[in-house]
Structure 1
Amino acid sequence: MSTILIVDDEYLIADILGYALEDEGYMVVKASNGKKGLDVLDRERPALVITDFMMPIMDGLEFARAVRARPAFAHLPILLMSGAQGSIGRASPELFAEVFDKPFDIQAVIAKIREFVDPAGF
């Protein structure tokens, strides 16, 4: 079972994503900001990360840069979910494997996760 880390300060969005991914057979761990996300990343070693952009303490861009600075996670797929900053994420393909604008289509997100996490079974 693959683990997915969701980093988002909006609990409702994190819960909706989490429930949908658990229904698909993934284990889900969550963090409410980038700093906490780094702690969970080191502890849980997820197969993929979904992050929001606008968060307190450490935003999604700072979080993605911190993840990429860790050699063990240099190629970890990071999906960005953003309400207004999607263009910033799209301008940083070295950080984000995919960018979804909020509101997002949950089935499109799940399909993209499958491509990254379960490529043989997709």
Structure 2
Amino acid sequence: MTTILIVDDEYLIADILGFALEDEGYMTVTASNGKKGLDVLTRERPELVITDFMMPVMDGLEFAKAIRAREECKNLPILLMSGAQGALGREHPELFKAVFDKPFQIAQIIDMVKQLFPPDKH
């Protein structure tokens, strides 16, 4: 089962997205900022990261750079969700597989996740 790390300081967004992905057969873990996300990344070894941009402690750009600095995470796909900083995220295609502007349709993110990791058929 594919594990997805969702990092967002808005718990409601993380929970709703997590529940939607779990309904599609994925396992999700969450963190409220990039620093906590790095701890979860080490512990859970997710196959995909979905992160917000604007967060306390460590923003999404700093978080993505910290992920890429880890040898074992060089190819880990990262999806960015952003209310105001989507353009900044798009300037870094080496960090983000895709950028979703808030408010986004959850179906758009689920479609991207399914493209990257087709759900198990069993």
Q: Is TM-score (shorter-chain normalized) higher than 0.5?
A: yes
How many residues align? The count is 121
Q: Distance in 1 between matches of 2:24 and 2:120?
A: 16
Local SS of the residue matching 1:5: strand
Q: CA deviation at 1:119?
A: 8.7
1:78 aligns to 2:60 (yes or no):
no
Q: CA deviation at 1:117?
A: 1.9
Letter in 1 for 2:57: I
Rate the CA distance shift 1:120–1:16 in 2: closer, same or farther, 3 A: closer
| Contact 2:54–2:60 (8 Å) recurs in 1 | yes
- Identity among equivalent positions (%) equals 72
Structure 1: which 4+ aligned runs deviate by more than 3 Å? none
Which runs of 5 or more structure 2 residues have no equivalent in the other structure?
none
1:64 aligns to 2:64 (yes or no):
yes
Q: CA deviation at 1:100?
A: 0.1
Give the structure 2 partner of residue 23 of structure 1: 23
Q: Distance in 1 between matches of 2:99 and 2:22?
A: 21
Q: CA deviation at 1:115?
A: 1.2
Q: Distance in 2 between matches of 1:118 and 1:81?
A: 21
Q: Distance in 2 between matches of 1:49 and 1:55?
A: 15
Which runs of 5 or more structure 1 residues have no equivalent in the other structure?
none
Local SS of the residue matching 1:92: coil
Give the structure 1 partner of residue 99 of structure 2: 99
Q: CA deviation at 1:120?
A: 9.7
Normalised to the residue count of structure 1, the TM-score between the two structures is 0.96
Q: Distance in 2 between matches of 1:27 and 1:120?
A: 12
Normalised to the residue count of structure 2, the TM-score between the two structures is 0.96
Q: Distance in 1 between matches of 2:104 and 2:38?
A: 24
Give the structure 1 partner of residue 5 of structure 2: 5
